[in-house]
Amino acid sequence: MRAGAMSVVPKSNYTNGQVINQLETVAKQVLPKDMSLQYDQHTREMLSGNHTIILIFSLGLIFIYLVLAALFESFIDPLIILLTVPLCIVGALTLLKLIGGSLNIYTSIGLVTLIGLIAKHGVLITHFANELYKQQNKQQGKSITTAIITAASMRLRPILMTTATMILGAVPLIFSNGVGANSRIQLGTVIIAGLAIGTIFSLFIVPIAYILFASLKIKINQNRNKTTQTTVISGP
């Protein structure tokens, strides 16, 4: 069996992932069909580590969902809050692809960080809408739609201020230079793009989802109240 060894050292402004992608592209064009690339142990471990990113991301979503479900005492509110997370991740990865970036340890950290940052916006809107609806329902009997619109408009300024602060904090990363600059640029790109896109989606999708799931929440609360009343009445 014929084999050849080749060692590649990436330039300072390129990551290992970009080099591997380029090697595979060139190999498909140059190598015969009966030949293929085989990587050393270090590169294989890096590639296998990339495959665990989806698992880590999924576990992060599940953990945050369970924590929010315990805090809100509801399985629906966390679902509303986390609806925007996949959309902001897709937006961040799209922009990362446009700048020629790759999925590596730095961008993975940025993606996991985005889960908490974007979920925070949904928490602000949903929690405030719940409290507002309880107050208005007791005092004036207003609708859930009024509560969520009021909550989104009142939380708009704090959300935009915190988002702007976090984006400005990540701006220096995209102007990095020197060794490892490309990795920092990709990390900054993921955070900035994810925050910007996720914030926009949060301001629109969270209120819409809140209204759509409102009837389901009301039915669950009514059934819970009926169960509680039945238990109290049938008790000793």
Confidence at 26, pLDDT banded by 50, 70, 90: confident
Q: Which residue has the tokens 């974007």?
A: 118
pLDDT at 195: 92
For 13-22, what is each residue's pLDDT tens digit? 566 666 777 7
- Over the stretch 80-119, which tens digit does the pLDDT of each residue have? 999 888 888 888 888 888 887 777 778 888 888 888 889 9
pLDDT at 199: 92
More confident residue, 48 or 124: 124
- Cα 171 to chain centroid distance, Å, stands at 19
Give the ranges where the chain is alpha helix by DSSP (H).
Answer: 16-30, 41-51, 53-72, 77-82, 84-98, 105-139, 144-174, 181-212, 214-234
Mean pLDDT across the chain: 80
Residue 54, token pair as written in the block: 């989806």
Residues 160-181 have a mean pLDDT of 87
Whether the per-residue pLDDT at 232 is higher than 70: the answer is no
pLDDT at 130: 87
CA angle 19, 23, 26 (to 5 degrees): 140
Has domain 54-220 been given CATH number 3.10.20.340?
no
What CA–CA distance (Å, rounded) separates 99 from 110? 16
Task: State the number of CA atoms in the 13 A half-sphere of 120 facing the CB.
Answer: 12
pLDDT above 70 for 66:
yes
Q: Where are the domains of the chain?
A: 14-51, 54-220
Which residues are within 8 A (CB) of 99 and not within 5 positions of it... i.e. 6 or more apart? 185, 186, 189
Nearest to 155 by CA among 129, 175, 116, 176: 129
Residue 83: enclosing H or E segment and its boundaries? none
Other beta carbons within 10 Å of 51: 8
Predicted confidence band of residue 142 (pLDDT cuts 50, 70, 90): low
